[in-house]
Structure 1
Amino acid sequence: MTSPFERLKALLRESRAEIDRDLAEGRARLRYRMERGRAVFDTEIRDAHRAIRERLPGYILHARPRVVLTAPVIYGLIVPFAALDLCVAVYQAICFPVYGIARVRRGDHIIIDRHRLAYLNGLQKLNCLYCGYVNGVISLVREVAARTEQYWCPIRHAVNPADPHDRYGDFTDYGDAEAFQSRNKALREDLHPDRDARER
């Protein structure tokens, strides 16, 4: 009998496949293709995008004053996020090889591409760079933390978290000491960089 977490993971895989199909349909409809990991629009589409771009002076003049005043607060967070990014990179480089955990690829999480859209002005592009980086760092850190949790403490909480990470469903139930003892080694082996090669 499959558990609710296993059913949820299967549903998540199906949903991701559906999202991939939707993205492919969107590429065809919006007339761009992927070349070496980069979106490339047809020339006439790119020209049309440039034609509708809101010019920077008008964009700034139409901004609400309170929005402008809060900008330093938002942009000031780049320092702690960059520090977090650096700390997690050092942590992975030192600890993951020792634990036998496959490293998390930055490029799978930090995706910075929206600044190439011709319908965005310079400030909008900067905002998109910032959001792509910060949300990517959060995603990267979450996966690093999830792998660490799976290695050291793969036990579900007594109360369900609001948004558990993808690995949480494989953890043992709270209070199930026997399952923790019997499954801990397998859960650690699942994190090993050579796991896929061993399964072939």
Structure 2
Amino acid sequence: MTGRIEELAHEIVRLQQELDREIDRRRKALGWSLKARLVEFEQGIVAEHKRLRMGLTEFFARSSWRTIATAPVIYSLIVPFVIIDIWVSLYQAICFRAYGIARVRRSDHIAFDRGSLAYLNGIEALNCAYCSYGNGVVSYVREVAARTEQYWCPIKHALKVSGAHERYQAFLEYGDAEGYRARLDAFREALRNDKADPS
């Protein structure tokens, strides 16, 4: 990376840390904390959440016909999500092991923590679980794909890519043939240690 790009990358890391601190302050203001990946609420918060829970009768009465009519289509995506989840898990179990790439932990991407929110009724909790799984699978697949790209082609595109994965910024510049030949092995070696940047 050039000096300016490296400087900007460090600034992004600093800002992410600042954002994490701000999120932690907000958690404390809402009366909850994380201990060993488990959510703990301050005393009285859960009772207040239960008071705010909407019953199923009221929930369905407030739901639009569009919501009810499209629910089967939305939930039908569970089939491709499960298939891709299984297939990508098998893919990395075989290929990542063969190439010595550190495997992606599914549990870092798929979290079912919203079930402890007492203000959600059964349908809302099911919706949250579905979205947690769907978005978690997409995140998991994205990281597996990012590590695959780092192994085989750690080169930035000439065209602007919207929403590039976290590893992308460390990739070689488009057209840097010498860098590619000189650093490809370093990018691959970094994957053995689960690192995006070989430097």
Match of 2:80 in 1: 80
Q: Read off the aligned partner of 1:11 and give its amino acid letter.
A: E
Report the CA distance between 1:155 and its aligned residue: 1.1
Report the CA distance between 1:13 and its aligned residue: 1.5
Match of 1:198 in 2: none
Report the CA distance between 1:77 and its aligned residue: 0.1
Per-residue deviation, residues 6-39 of structure 1 (Å, max 9, x unmatched): 3443233123212221232123212222232111
5+ unaligned residues in a row in structure 2: which ranges?
none
Report the CA distance between 1:79 and its aligned residue: 0.4
**Correspondences of 1:1-200 after superposition (within 5 Å):** 1-4=2-5, 6-193=6-193
Equivalenced residues, count: 195
Q: What is the distance in 2 between the residues matched to 1:11 and 1:74?
A: 39
Report the CA distance between 1:132 and its aligned residue: 0.8
Report the CA distance between 1:185 and its aligned residue: 0.6
Identity of aligned residues (%): 48
5+ unaligned residues in a row in structure 1: which ranges?
196-200
Task: Provide the alpha-carbon RMSD of the alignment.
Answer: 1.7
Q: Read off the aligned partner of 2:3 and give its amino acid letter.
A: T
Per-residue deviation, residues 70-94 of structure 1 (Å, max 9, x unmatched): 1111100000001100011101111
Q: Read off the aligned partner of 2:58 and give its amino acid letter.
A: G
Q: What is the distance in 1 between the residues matched to 2:7 and 2:56?
A: 48
Structure 2 length as normaliser, TM-score?
0.92
Q: Read off the aligned partner of 1:31 and give its amino acid letter.
A: G
Report the CA distance between 1:117 and its aligned residue: 0.2
Q: What is the distance in 1 between the residues matched to 2:55 and 2:127?
A: 15
Q: What is the distance in 1 between the residues matched to 2:8 and 2:153?
A: 21
Q: What is the distance in 1 between the residues matched to 2:177 and 2:24?
A: 46
Taking a change above 3 Å as real, the CA distance of residues 115 and 162 of structure 1, as seen in their structure-2 partners, is: same
Q: What is the distance in 2 between the residues matched to 1:64 and 1:8?
A: 46
Report the CA distance between 1:194 and its aligned residue: 7.8
Question: What SS is found at the alignment partner of 1:180?
Answer: helix
